[in-house]
Amino acid sequence: MRLSRRALLAMPLAAQPAQKIDSVRAWVMPLLPAACFGTANFSGDHDPARMRWFGPFSQLAGSILVEVKTTGGLAGYGLGGGGSAAVHVIETHLKDLLLKADPANIELLWEQMYSSSIFYGRKGVAIQAISGIDLALWDLAGKAAGKPVYKLLGGATKDKVAVYLTSNNVETGVKNGIRNFKLAVASAPHEGKEGMKKTVDQVEAARKAVGADSELMIDVLCRWNVPYTLEMADRLAPSRLMFIEEPLQPDDMAGYAQLCARVQSTRIASGEHEYTRYGFENLIARKAAHILQPDITWSGGLTELRKIAALASAHQLPLIPHRGGSLYGLHLILATAHCELAESFGVGEKGNEIMEAMSPRFSNGFLYPPEKPGFGVELTDALIGKYAKRQ
């Protein structure tokens, strides 16, 4: 007999019937258009734009939504990445490990999904697919317990979390009480000194706009090389940057280690495009980051982010999750003492209703703990159908 969600939650935990997973669905659910991350229009074989066309599987253009339902009528929702490629992995492989399984065995299911996909996975699309499933399972766990997920993690270590705004429109952030800002910079080594000057001018203008007491950072999105970064760090020193994010390609561990050893004026942040505790263990061992930035929807879900957070704490490294201002990232930040900032998610962006449903309460520069069971993401079939993208 199926029980309604309300009836199930009203029952004492000991009296609730054993749950099994009886439905797993996944949809391509872009939170931002692919055009935000490059273009497929090239002038020729050597057009630099070819290196920046990220396609439909990466970033928030490649977001996926995972729904896991149980025999007791509960539904959990998780956000992942990898676009239609990740949906295919879920539907043709990972779903086999989930159906009829106990949804409470989150750690076991994670290890089984990771192990069974290891010969083609380990990083990228497969882990992004697992991330969405893992978050859906944690959402179910919170709903079954009638508690927000952060309370399952030991409770909140803070009553609110400061936002840092990722946007070049810093004036909007200032008006909304935000005191931490990150700029996207677009210069690249092939632009030479002219590109350097363009970035210096951009950062200096932002520093003037946000004031001397605000934190200012830049995101390079893997455009630079070691010599270029070293010179830019010197040129930008007067602007007192909190960090330079992802100046190099993610796999250039040796380059990141050089930067971390040599740059004195700011810190080097990385990890947005790293995966699982194994990847972050390597990043830490190589001394290749001053600040770690895992994405809970890409790097392995909450199950892995807890372990990455423990690694960061043990090595006294700040953890500032990528897009931590979503309802998914905020629960981890609330429950983790050495997480002090949440990157904006939806704040200052023209997102759709799905993004709004995944955004916590924001007021005067801060995000506040949700009190609804699970992650607090409320979705309907009608809303999903409205924004799901056909493969």
Among 302, 265, 359, 326, residue whose Cα is nearest residue 132 = 302
Q: Which residues have a Cβ under 8 Å from the Cβ of 340 and sit 6 or more positions away?
A: 158, 161, 162, 318, 320
Q: How many CB atoms lie within 10 A of CB 309?
A: 25
Question: Residue 215 has which token pair?
Answer: 């934190």
Dihedrals φ, ψ of 214, to 5°?
-90, 155
Residue 322 a catalytic site member: yes
Q: In terms of DSSP H, where are the helices of the chain?
A: 5-10, 83-89, 95-98, 106-116, 125-145, 149-152, 170-175, 192-210, 226-236, 253-262, 276-285, 301-314, 327-335, 353-357, 381-387
Residue 94 is classified by DSSP as: I
CA–CA dist 183, 224 (Å, integer) = 15
CA angle 274, 132, 253 (to 5 degrees): 5
Active site residue: 273, 290, 322, 331, which one? 322
CA–CA dist 82, 126 (Å, integer) = 8
Distances (CA, A) of 147 to 155, 281, 312: 10, 31, 27
CA angle 54, 55, 59 (to 5 degrees): 65
CA–CA dist 2, 38 (Å, integer) = 47
CA–CA dist 164, 181 (Å, integer) = 5
CA–CA dist 129, 79 (Å, integer) = 9
Interstrand relation of 21-28 and 64-70 (parallel, antiparallel or unpaired): antiparallel
Distances (CA, A) of 377 to 143, 343, 352: 11, 18, 14
Active-site annotation, residues = 322
